[in-house]
Amino acid sequence: MKMSLEDLLGNPQDSEFQMAPLIDCVFLLMVYFLMTTELTKSEADLGIQLPGLVKQFQVVKMPDEQIIEISLSNDERAALHKSAAAVQELVDVLNI
């Protein structure tokens, strides 16, 4: 029995696109990927323990600013933070 090319291809006007097999394939792929996917732990679940509060044994007095302001006048007088200061006091401050 010989078949012509037109018999194999059919009439192009009578052919329809079948959606049911396509939808079945999409659902099968979706089920496959849902079942084979491994859920990983998020970074929040790593179990890291942060250190607690540490009690301070000695009070440390820290200056608010680390700026040392020294003013020199024309008559060779010095001022430390806008108050008169002796030369030895300036040396002691600068040799911290």
Q: Answer yes or no: is pLDDT of 8 > 70.
A: no
For residues 46 and 72, the model is more confident at 72
Q: d(Cα 96, Cα 87) in Å, to the nearest integer?
A: 15
Rounded to two decimals, the pTM is 0.30
Query: How many Cβ atoms are within 10 Å of 79's Cβ, its own excluded?
Result: 14
Q: Where are the beta strands (DSSP E) in 1-91?
A: 70-72, 78-80, 83-85
User: Residue ranges per domain, the chain?
Assistant: 65-96
pLDDT digits (tens, 9 = 90+) for 14-60: 667 788 999 999 999 999 999 998 877 666 666 777 777 777 777 77
